[in-house]
Chains A and B, each alone.
Chain A
């Protein structure tokens, strides 16, 4: 068999660690991180639905979990993650139309995503928790 030619050392494109950490960079990474965490979080949704379908005994565990501080904190974080990822998705949909790429626009969109996700999370908890009585 013919001898393999020596591997040519080609330049590699720079990876994550070489770039300066900017707010937009951080928010872009956070979109992906929330996506992965939400993937795992969906296991809780499946558990919740299956427990409800299984009967009162199985559901007492869900009720116990949701009554603990950790459970509430997980739910709060999960809902914030969902909303943040949703707004991050809207940002991507805006970019898909070719708009919003100017530096100040990117900065503004990243800020709006964060501020929007926090306020929207508070709003849905007020609606679900108090208006619709989930936190009685």
Chain B
């Protein structure tokens, strides 16, 4: 089939498209999705198994290496996935330029705050003070 693309061969090789960020968003969404399959199941089981336990037990379990590492991986991956996902939703439904930009900024800030807060909490539970 004869190609009808107007992109230059160099442009095709770079694969960046007009937005200059190419398929990064799409790819990161897939990477986080795959990583989250086992991490989500693990996190759910961890949370459920801690429902009826008291604070001391919860601290001990959440601070144990395997659980803490699993939760850290879950929190890091999920906050990135959340940011990318809501970004798509905002871009799809919010058309006012100012509103769209404001929501995209808020989305980025909120997910970073959540990421930091959860990371801090898990590390504090692990190393204690």
Contacts and interface: CB of A to CB of B under 8 A. Distances in A.
Across the A-B interface, give the 8 residue pairs with the lowest CB-CB distance, nearest first: A128-B48, A132-B49, A53-B121, A49-B121, A134-B49, A56-B55, A134-B51, A59-B55
Interface in B61-94: 62, 71, 75, 78-79, 82, 85-86, 89
B103 interface: no
A89 interface: yes
B99 interface: no
Interface residues of B, number: 39
B59 A52 contact: yes
A60 B54 CA distance: 8
B70 to A, nearest CB: 13
A53 B82 contact: no
Contacts of A86: 36-37, 40-41
A55 B54 CA distance: 11
Interface stretch (A5-13, A19-27, A31-39, A103-111): A31-39
Determine which residue in B49, B75, B78, B82 has the highest number of CB atoms from chain A within 10 A of its CB, and name it: B49
Interface of B: 30, 33-34, 36-37, 40-41, 44-56, 58-59, 62, 71, 75, 78-79, 82, 85-86, 89, 114, 117-118, 120-122, 124-125
Contacts, number: 115
Given A39-B85, A82-B40, A53 B120 contact: yes
Interface in A35-86: 35-36, 38-39, 42-43, 45-46, 48-50, 52-53, 55-56, 59-60, 63, 66-67, 72, 75, 79, 82-83, 86
A132 B53 CA distance: 11
